[in-house]
Amino acid sequence: MKIQNRIFLSLAAFGVTVSLLFTVSAAYFMKYAGFYANYLVDALILINIVVLILVILMSIILTRSFAGPLNDFLRILRIITKGNLDERFNYNGKDEFGEIARGFNFLMNSLKQNIDELHEQYDEIKNFSQRYLLVAEYSSAIIFDCSYKTEEIIISENFQKLFGYLPNNKCSIFDRFNVHKDDFSTYERLFSDMKYKPGNHSGEIRIKNAEGIYLWCLIEATTLVDENAAIIRTIGKITDITVQKEQYQDLVYHTQIDLATRLYNKVSGEEMINRVLLQDREDKPLCALLAIDIDNFKDINDKFGHLFGDAVLSECATKLKSVFRTSDIVCRFGGDEFVVFIINPPTEEFVIKRVQEVNNILDYRKVYNDEEYKVSVSIGISFYP
């Protein structure tokens, strides 16, 4: 039932009630007053009819004056809820409806202005995002933007070009199983810092591509905060540094390795040995240092030449390295001198046994150009601590 009908029925019911009360009151008055005549009854009926007509007329007038503006207001609200924010409540009266109309129209004008401003900002952001992604596409680096409020990430399409698969659509970007096991602690620390610590972050991590090959990636990012110092997002880039890393490792290899024997050279050997010895630990591990010298190597060089001497050194180095563990440091200290640093051997007997193996494997005779030469070594041992 419409509100104007409810108002009309309410006022009509009120009028009927007043008329009945008047009739009953008049009847009781005449009864107890002791006079009751037909003309009085007719007069009473006429009065009731007049009262009812007046009530009905008043009800119609009041209903129209009250329900009319209210119906207009409800009609405007229905139009606005359908998305048309240009409609306004046109009522110029100075009563309460006039105040409601002015307040409502002011509110709608403000809302419309704010929405228009938001649309303009959205268009600017959309245009910026398009430019942002376009720049990312022309860049060799992978650009990403992660929002921690929505847990959504925007990432440039060259991610798939590099890795051969899509990111996981989370701020962690990579699935755990694609991170190299030796770099997993670095990966967890880096992405934890990006999420919980504002500022700049970076780290080098190996990530597996769709072909199962691990690529060295440099991840650089900046974590941003809002006006309340709450972390809101991280913006960063992922750069493939596999080539640079391989070049660096090759450079390091050539600076650490003796080219003739493929063992560590003297400088790198000393650095690694000192690093172990200078460890700040109360429980110092048992270590053994072997000094190995090829006997009469000068005679081989003088008799067969330096190129042949280098070949003998290379052969001795290969046999020497085969005796020891990968954790042990085997290096050439110069000329015909080798040093082996055994880290944390199980027992001293273990070291003695390795020395005996070296003596056996580097004690042999060979013939070159119908001339025989002999290789043997002298070994010194020192234990620490």
- Condensed to tens digits (0 to 9), the pLDDT of residues 239-269 reads 999 999 988 888 877 888 888 899 999 999 9
Q: Is the pLDDT of residue 1 over 50?
A: no
List the beta bridge partners of residue 142. Answer: 238
| Separation between Cα atoms, residue 146 and residue 170, nearest integer Å | 8
Pairing of strands 371-375, 337-343: unpaired
Per-residue confidence band for 218, with pLDDT thresholds at 50, 70 and 90? very high
Q: What is the per-residue pLDDT across 312-358, written as a single tens digit (0 to 9) for each?
A: 999 999 999 999 998 999 999 988 999 999 999 999 999 999 999 99
Q: What is the pLDDT of residue 121?
A: 75
Q: How many residues does the chain have?
A: 385
275-289: average pLDDT: 84
In 3D, which of 318, 298, 308, 295 has the Cα closest to residue 375?
A: 295
| Separation between Cα atoms, residue 185 and residue 304, nearest integer Å | 53
| Separation between Cα atoms, residue 325 and residue 322, nearest integer Å | 8
Q: Are 276 and 287 in contact (CB under 8 A)?
A: yes
| Separation between Cα atoms, residue 320 and residue 92, nearest integer Å | 105
Q: What is the pLDDT of residue 290?
A: 95
Q: Is the pLDDT of residue 10 over 80?
A: no
| Separation between Cα atoms, residue 290 and residue 339, nearest integer Å | 6
Q: What is the pLDDT of residue 370?
A: 83
Least confident residue range of 31-35, 190-194, 214-218: 31-35
208-233: average pLDDT: 91
Per-residue confidence band for 8, with pLDDT thresholds at 50, 70 and 90? low
What pTM value is reported for the model?
0.49
Chain position carrying tokens 């070291």:
351
Q: What is the pLDDT of residue 3?
A: 44
